[in-house]
Amino acid sequence: MIIVHLALGGCLKSPPVHYGITADTGGHIAYILDAAAAQADNIDTHQVSIVTRLFEGEGLAIEHGLSSERLSPRLTIDRIATANRGYLEKEALAEDLSAFTEAFCAHLARLPRLPDVIHAHFSDAAAVAAEARRRFAIPFVYTPHALGIDKQAHQGSCPALDARIAAERTAIAQADAIIVSTRDEADRQVHAYDTPVSGRIHCIPPGVPSRDPRPSSRPSLAARLDQWLDDPAKPIVLAIARPVAKKNLAALARAYAASPKLQRAANLVILAGQHDGPGSAEERAVLAELQALVEAPGLRGHVALPPAHDGHDVAALYDRAAQGGVFVNPALHEPFGLTLIEAAAAGVPVVATRHGGPSEIVAHLGHGLLVDPRDEAAIAETCLSIIASPERHAAMSRAGREGAARYDWGRYAAESVALYARLPRAPGLLASDIDHTLTGCPAGAHGFAQWRQGSDLPFVVATGRSFAMARMILSQWGLPEPDAFITDVGTRIMLKGQRGWQECPVYAARLDEGWNRKAVATALKPLRLRPQPRDTAGPHKISFFGTAEDAARVRAVLSEQGLAAKVVYSHGRLIDVLAPLGGKAAAVAAYARRLDLPVGACIAAGDSGNDVDMLEACGHAIVVGNASDELDGLAPRDGLLRVAGHHANGVLEGLERLGLTEPMLMRASAA
């Protein structure tokens, strides 16, 4: 898979990034870099390109004027130039959007191979991606990062904000899928745009932000706090945010100034961007207000407002805050809050705004307390309640360190790449179950065989049966031989070559990864489940008869013993324990790769529980009318077809709705 991340705003470059050097160089830059790096390491990814604007400017790194940077063998930053070579703030990007769109489409046309997906960050990038999809049929995913409709609720309306909200509404309506970080974004914020999103919105939490591992040539800010503080040994109240009004940093400074108790207990350290950057009028105003506050006679020696910082400084200050201090996010509204999970990983308790993503993060991790960001007295009192209680501080620190593992970039990469792959595309492969999907109705089976004779669409069967049994069943029902067999619940792919049918060795080797068959069999032995016949077993599959409750017991035992496996329950009585990388979806994806197809171009057809993963993974899915209630839980989405026809007639009905066969009335009259 080839992935393009598209982001127009901010100073996006190879690490180290000077966060806060402009108003738009914030958390989304860290998100994109970490997401792309993790995806580049994913086994299903060939190349990842981060595409952004090319610009030059005084005080900005020379890398922003380079057409390309290589971050790793499979990851690049590629920059698109327009006639405007200056840095543009978010509000000014609209003036250059048309020129950038043309330049980006020209860039795509020059590529040796088009990307499989464009992941657009913010609505301006989504507008560019929508035009690229129109011209090149490349699906696009949208991540809003921060939605204007919530900003409007807190700050009121204005023409610029109204235009932003309209652009976001268009992006939400047009995107093939939307990736957000929290349930609040998925369930409330996006739905506030009153645009249908059923089946297109996906909550995939990001990982803990990474920091530049290269050693610094100078002592960190944590080691130099005596430049600003009279008693640098005291715990610190730490805040890190861009100097923009919505981050509400001045409220934290005022809260600290109004609390002598907090001043006696801790120092205040605020990292508010890079003060020597080009800076917008808003940034300059916020910095001026902060500087006036911290230079007041009563606060001198208690507050540090360093003019510059890098990743090493941030890491060292988190470590310093973990020693009895707290991290504070006082934003009026925070869409997610990467700094909160960064603090959690460092063992720093947090005091965070109750508006937006922090409420979900803190609820999950239990590593801090929420406040009303407009209640300055409450901010100070809440900070003090943690700092003054070593027991509470220790408990929150421990909860943060333990819980931060939930936010993992590897998991983000796996889920996002799988989502990209299953975005609906023009159908290029049919993968169908056999029993009760193609079989069950002689007339339907005959009709399917006739369709197959006149179609050049690649066709594979994906069955729980063995290869020998699958061939026998197809023959008995007069069903056509497929281009390949996916058998044993997706743990074996059989390919036809010059020597006849042979197992795909590449797929078999992949299933060995993380699979300890002997240990799994030993762990499940005490459950005394009745095994299925010996000929149903395989090197990557162990099978039993049992109930749904038995399947749950199997999952529990494997989880307790830390053994990786995939447990599939189907047909109301079959339990299949598979290698963790196996299953019908994995096998369909592996075969599709041989045809240079994403799973979004695949059609899956099925009727039972062992079809669930491929019905969810493929861009198009046909659930036949006789399907069992095991498929009732499939979430509605674009590409999922629940048809009325039973058995093969249902498959043909689904193919008809996809434009791949003639209408049923014409078939009936011809018969």
What's the token pair of residue 175? Answer: 């995107």
Question: Are the CB atoms for 600 and 530 separated by under 8 Å?
Answer: no
Contact criterion met (CB below 8 Å) for 251 and 374: yes
pLDDT at 666: 42
**Contact (CB, 8 A) for 25 and 19:** yes
> Three-state SS for 5?
strand
Residue range 414-428: average pLDDT?
A: 90
Phi, psi of 90 (to 5 degrees): -50, -45
Q: State the Cα–Cα distance between residues 56 and 35, nearest whole angstrom.
A: 26
Name all domains of the chain by residue range, CATH numbers in brackets. 2-203 (3.40.50.2000), 221-408 (3.40.50.2000), 423-513+581-670 (3.40.50.1000)
Residues in the chain: 671
- Position 576 scores a pLDDT of 94
Res. 619: pLDDT tops 80: yes
Residue 664 has pLDDT above 80, yes or no: no
Radius of gyration for the chain, computed over Cα atoms and rounded to the nearest angstrom: 28
Nearest-angstrom CA–CA distance, 610 and 612: 6
- Under DSSP, the state recorded for 301 is B
Convert the pLDDT of each residue in 198-210 to its tens digit. 789 999 999 998 8
- Any bridge partners for residue 574, and if so which? 545, 570
Q: Is 350 helix (H, G, I), strand (E, B) or coil?
A: strand
pLDDT digits (tens, 9 = 90+) for 370-400: 999 999 999 999 999 999 999 999 999 999 9
From the CB of residue 670, how many other CB atoms can be counted at a distance below 10 Å?
A: 9
Quick check: 286 and 252 in contact, CB under 8 A? no
Question: Per-residue confidence at 596, pLDDT binned at 50, 70, 90?
Answer: confident
Tens of pLDDT, residue by residue over 250-293, are: 999 999 999 999 999 999 999 998 888 777 788 889 999 999 99
Strand 47-53 to strand 75-80: parallel, antiparallel, or no bridges (unpaired)?
parallel
Chain centroid to CA 225: how far?
38
- Cα separation, 518 vs 540, in Å, equals 10
Point out which residues pair with 615 in neighbouring strands.
none
Is the preceding omega at residue 232 within 30 degrees of 0, hence cis?
Answer: no
- DSSP string for residues in 168-179: HHHHHHH-SEEE
List of residues 6+ apart from 519 with CB closer than 8 A:
561, 563
Strand ranges (E), 498-612: 500-503, 530-531, 541-545, 566-570, 574-578, 602-606
User: Which pLDDT score, from 0 to 100, does residue 665 have?
Assistant: 43
Which amino acid is residue 619, in one-letter code?
A: G
Share above pLDDT 70 across residues of the chain, in percent, rounded to a whole number: 97
Contact 479, 439 (CB under 8 A): yes
pLDDT single digits (tens) 23-33: 788 889 999 99
Over residues 543-570, the mean pLDDT reads: 95
Question: In this model, does residue 668 exceed pLDDT 80?
Answer: no
In whole numbers, what is the pLDDT of the chain averaged over residues?
92
Q: Are 623 and 634 in contact (CB under 8 A)?
A: yes
pLDDT of residue 51: 98
> Is the Cα torsion angle 297, 298, 304, 307 positive or negative in sign?
negative
Determine contact, residues 140/27, Cβ cutoff 8 Å: no
The pLDDT confidence band at residue 667, using thresholds 50, 70 and 90, is very low
Six token digits for residue 154: 């807190």
- Nearest residue to 75 (alpha-carbon basis) of 155, 7, 143, 14: 14
pLDDT band at 638 (very low <50, low <70, confident <90, very high): confident
Query: What letter does residue 529 receive in the DSSP assignment?
Result: P
pLDDT of 566 higher than 80: yes
Q: Is the pLDDT of residue 670 over 60?
A: no
Q: What is the pTM of this model?
A: 0.77
Distance (Å, whole) CA 377 – CA 281? 29
pLDDT (average), residues 290-304: 90
Nearest to 248 by CA among 368, 151, 345, 324: 151
User: What is the distance between the alpha carbons of residues 598 and 402, in angstroms, rounded to a whole number?
Assistant: 36
b/e 620-629 (16+ beta carbons within 10 angstroms → b): bbbbbebbee
Q: How many CB atoms lie within 10 A of CB 68?
A: 10
Q: What is the mean pLDDT of residues 351-365?
A: 93
Residues 461-508 have pLDDT tens digits of 999 999 999 999 999 999 999 999 999 999 999 999 888 999 999 999
Q: Rounded to 5 degrees, what angle do the CA atoms 91, 96, 100 make?
A: 125
> How many angstroms separate the CA atoms of 422 and 177, rounded?
10
Spatial neighbors of 214 by CB under 8 A, at least 6 apart, are: 16
Distance CA 307, CA 277 (A): 10
d(CA 580, CA 583): 8
Q: What is the mean pLDDT of residues 584-607?
A: 93
Bridge partners for 371 per DSSP: 353
| Contact present, 22 and 8 (Cβ < 8 Å) | no
Using an 8 Å Cβ cutoff, are 45 and 95 in contact?
no
Residues 595, 656: Cα–Cα separation, whole Å: 23
Q: Mean per-residue pLDDT for 111-119?
A: 94
Identify the pLDDT of residue 403: 92
Q: What confidence score (pLDDT) does residue 214 get? A: 59
Helix 338-346 to helix 357-365 angle (10° resolution) is 20
Pull the structure tokens for residue 248.
Answer: 């509400």
Rounded CA gap, 205 and 296, in Å? 41
Rounded Cα distance between 662 and 101, Å, is 39
653 contacts 645 by C-beta, under 8 angstroms: yes
The per-residue pLDDT for range 71-90, each reduced to its tens digit, is 999 999 999 999 999 999 88
Per-residue pLDDT at 669: 39
Q: Which residue matches tokens 């057409």?
A: 67
C-alpha span between 503 and 510 (Å, rounded)? 13
pLDDT tens readout for residues 30-61: 999 999 999 999 988 999 999 999 999 888 99
Residue by residue, DSSP assigns 457-485 as S-EEEE-SS-HHHHHHHHHHTTPPP-SEE
* E strands in 395-552: 429-432, 459-462, 484-487, 492-497, 500-503, 530-531, 541-545
